[in-house]
Amino acid sequence: MDTPEQAALRQVVRDFCARHTASPGVLADGVTAASTWQRLAGELGLPGLAIGERHGGMGGGLAEVAVAAQELGRVLLPVPYLSTALAGVVLGRGSQELAARLLPGLARGEVTAALAVDGQLTVRDDGPTGGALVRGQARHVLDGAEASLFLAGSPAGRLYAVRAADAAVAPAGTLDQSRTQATVTFSDATAIATGADAGRAVSLLRALLAAESAAAAQRCLEVTVGYLKTRSQFGRVIGSFQALRHRCADLAVEVTAARATAAAAIAAGPAELEVTAALAKLYCADVFWHAAAEMIQLHGGIGFTWEHQAHRYLKRAKTTQLLLGTPGELRALVGDLAGLG
Amino acid sequence: MAETTGAAQFRAEIRRWLADNLTGEFAPLVGRGGPGWEHELVAERLAWERRLGQGRLIGLGWPASDGGRGLPWSWQAIFHEEYARAGGPGRTGHMGEQLLGPALLAFGTPEQKARFLPGILSGTQVWCQGYSEPGAGSDLAAVATRAELRDGQWHLHGQKVWTSLAHIADWCFVLARTAPQARRHRGLSYLLVPMRQPGVTVRPIVQLTGTSEFNEVFFDDARTDAGAMIGAPGDGWRVAMGTLGVERGASTIGLQAGFSRQFEDVLATARRAGTIGQPDIAARITDAWIGLQVMRYTVAAIAGEPDEPGTQPGAAPDRVAPGTEPSIAKLLWATWHQRLGELAADASGPDATLAGPGYELPGAQRLLLFTRADTIYGGSNEIQRNIIAERGLGLPRG
């Protein structure tokens, strides 16, 4: 449930997205990714939603970031929002000195960030005076190609801020063309301790991906239902065929459940964040995949074309399923955390 | 989510009441009864119903002016949660409290309320539901049972089926056809019929579990007085449908807590049988646990939605299938529970193929078998999907 302020935010972001996209994942004519990002930051202040007002943000929290992530996710707006907003959430809870240095730039959208958490990374931290160095390679860094700042670390450790200029960033070609990835290599890169916990950041990103997935899945269902109400075959609207109606009803059940589950992850307290975020990302990404796959099937041949929007959702769904914990990894993690062994 | 002080006090009050009362003569009732186990300890459960009535724990959400306590939904949910957590027995009064009560509150005359509500609130009158018939299952509007008004009495002829608790019920709320010439639901009326009379015959139906909790009910010139009709003749469909989603799943919260206990049993079985070491079983157990959490979140979210789309603009954005949330909840839990039944058997291994003397079935086998009914009763999965598709998504009828 949205508060009235969140409902207003949702509408503003939805209108913004409508103006800036030609179709899901595709920017409108005369609009670039850079100009969209600038307006999204300058006019709407989205990167700073969860950043305190004294650092130039809006003073909201994860719930507001989730509202924005859902609306951007509904249309697959190709901007590095999720990771940058996450950095705002994470850094606000860490070192205050560093927060004062980094948050204003993040809030203005001048700095874009990405989370580079990988078991391959090692950190040498010589304490407050000695500085820190990060070494190793992080693969599949989401929103990594555009990032000017990395929050790097190993999953069980703390996060360190590294400027992109101090790392080797290799953008990767991606299945989902609306969201970038990079392989980021740190060769004793100069780093500053943020004090923030890497595991918590991963959980928060999973919660946001869950929220985004639930919203995108709902959009897939809406578009599909709309098509079934207009497409005619055998002299009748195909939405009247029970075989198709029942599949939409099943999706409605799943999407309703996914929304509630994502909301629980966004609202989770510290004690239950890890397990709730893991199960929410697992469940919601699976629902998203199912919705996108059904979107293609129920559209028939047109759904298989490049021109149609369905494939963009399908690719985002598969990407979301496999990053930040595959279904198998998350299922095992949830089983462990819930003591089901 | 933090509870308010009042809610926390209410929770403590319920917990204390259950600890004080679900003991002594009622101790054997812990965890007994309910769907699949309705045949168990019936006399004791009837006495328990009266104890609940004395504790003013029936009709919690009903208006105080009608004898209820006017408690908000979230407090009702607390009651159901604590009740299930304490292993409170399957209710014999739920038809009266959750189906007939809301119908009386919404459509009954002051005289009817004064006549029938006290028996429900005190737990002294048991009700059963006379809707389904051999020729009217999913297609409820095809009801053929007839009722005729002669000399100030309604005379009923026909047959009802799948009538839970009919063998112990005092009264039955019946959908009957009062205007033979009117088509489908237009000719139906909602009648309250005493069960203990010569014109009513109850025959148990033996289910595939080997036990019996549903019945056939035959009306052969069964009678009820002219004042025992809720609404006007022909209003029966409106009355029956108008109360279906009223309770909005407060008791589904209780269902969740019961499911949670059953899940723990399945987990314990898998550990005991050693099947937990099989990757397939371990993954299914984790998925069942995840499903349990997903249901809990979903039921709570549905309960928090406004009653009618648009009554709180902006608060509940883009509801997926507005107005059909009870169907969504039913599909979700029925499907989950059925899978748990399958898992219960598979986690037991080959021992799940055994039965005791007299076809006495251990818990896992009962769960396996009875959950086949979950996706049929109370509106089959297919009917729920029709409701969601038509009313929630606006897809045209076939």
Residues 200-229 of A with CB under 8 A from B: 218, 221, 225, 228-229
Per the DSSP assignment, residues forming a β-bridge with A171 are A182
Give dist(CA B287, CA B281) in Å, integer: 10
Strand, helix or coil for residue B136: strand
- Which chain B positions have a beta carbon within 8 Å of A249's beta carbon? 321, 331, 384-386, 388-389, 392-393
A285 in any annotated domain: yes
**Which CATH number covers residue A204?**
1.20.140.10
Token duo for residue B6: 């009042």
A136 in any annotated domain: no
Contact between A198 and A154 under an 8 Å Cβ cutoff? The reply is: yes
Q: State how many domains chain A has.
A: 1
Torsional sign, CA B340, B345, B348, B354: positive
Whether the CB of A293 is below 8 Å from some CB of chain B: the reply is no
Residue (of B185, B164, B216, B190) closest to B376 by Cα position: B164
Residues 6+ apart with CB under 8 A from A171: A144, A145, A180, A181, A182
Give dist(CA A148, CA A83) in Å, integer: 11
A118 in any annotated domain: no
Compute CA B315 distance to the chain's CA centroid, rounded to the nearest angstrom: 30
| DSSP symbol at A17 | H
Below-50 pLDDT ranges, chain A:
none
- How close B9 gets to chain A, by Cα (Å)? 23
Contact between B188 and B165 under an 8 Å Cβ cutoff? The reply is: no
- How close A18 gets to chain B, by Cα (Å)? 16
CB atoms within 10 A of CB A326: 13
- How close A242 gets to chain B, by Cα (Å)? 7
Contact between A295 and A313 under an 8 Å Cβ cutoff? The reply is: yes
Counting one residue from A and one from B, how many pairs have CB atoms under 8 Å apart? 137
| Domain boundaries, position A220 | 200-337
Contact B1 A257 (CB under 8 A): no
Q: In B88-162, where does DSSP find H-type helix?
A: 94, 101-107, 110-121
- Which chain B positions have a beta carbon within 8 Å of A242's beta carbon? 386, 398
A171 in any annotated domain: no
Angle B361-B365-B370 from CA coordinates, rounded to 5°: 100
Compute CA A195 distance to the chain's CA centroid, rounded to the nearest angstrom: 23
Q: From first to last of the 398 residues of chain B, give the pLDDT tens digit.
A: 457 788 899 999 999 999 999 999 999 999 888 777 777 888 999 999 999 999 999 999 899 999 999 998 778 888 988 998 898 998 999 899 988 999 999 999 999 999 999 999 999 999 999 999 999 988 889 999 999 999 999 999 999 999 989 999 999 999 999 988 888 889 999 999 999 999 999 999 999 999 888 899 999 999 999 999 999 999 999 998 876 655 455 567 678 878 988 999 999 999 999 999 999 999 999 999 999 999 999 988 887 654 433 334 334 568 899 888 889 999 999 999 999 999 999 999 999 999 999 999 988 999 999 999 999 988 899 999 999 999 999 999 87
What architecture is domain B5-92? Answer: Orthogonal Bundle (1.10)
Q: In B30-148, where does DSSP find H-type helix?
A: 42-54, 73-85, 94, 101-107, 110-121
Q: Looking at domain B250-392, does it have CATH number 1.20.140.10?
A: yes
pTM: 0.92
Give dist(CA B85, CA B132) in Å, integer: 32
Burial A234-267 (b: 16+ CB within 10 A, else e): eeebbbbbeebbbbbbbbbbbbbbbbbbbbbbbb
Contact between B75 and B9 under an 8 Å Cβ cutoff? The reply is: no
| DSSP codes, A115-142 | EEE-TT-EEEE-HHHH-EEEEEEEEEEE
Contact between A213 and A73 under an 8 Å Cβ cutoff? The reply is: yes
A interface test, pick of B3, B298, B325 with most A CB neighbours within 10 Å: B298
**Phi/psi of residue B128, nearest 5 degrees:** -130, 165
* pLDDT of amino acid B299: 86
B interface test, pick of A17, A253, A284 with most B CB neighbours within 10 Å: A253
Give dist(CA B191, CA B139) in Å, integer: 19
Contact B396 A248 (CB under 8 A): no
Contact between A138 and A184 under an 8 Å Cβ cutoff? The reply is: yes
ipTM exceeding 0.90, yes/no = yes
Give dist(CA A201, CA A204) in Å, integer: 5
Give dist(CA B172, CA B157) in Å, integer: 14
Tokens 């029966």 correspond to B236
A interface test, pick of B296, B318, B327 with most A CB neighbours within 10 Å: B318
Catalytic residue positions of B, numbered: 247
**Phi/psi of residue A194, nearest 5 degrees:** -95, -20
For residue A137, is it left (φ>0), alpha (ψ between -120 and 50) or beta?
Answer: beta
**Phi/psi of residue B254, nearest 5 degrees:** -65, -40
Contact between A213 and A285 under an 8 Å Cβ cutoff? The reply is: yes
In chain B, where are the structural domains located? 5-92, 127-234, 250-392
CATH code for the domain defined by B127-234:
2.40.110.10
Give dist(CA B98, CA B173) in Å, integer: 12
* pLDDT of amino acid B2: 55
Contact A340 B321 (CB under 8 A): no
Whether the CB of A187 is below 8 Å from some CB of chain B: the reply is no
* pLDDT of amino acid B309: 36
H helix or E strand, kind and range, residue A152: strand A149-153
* pLDDT of amino acid B245: 57
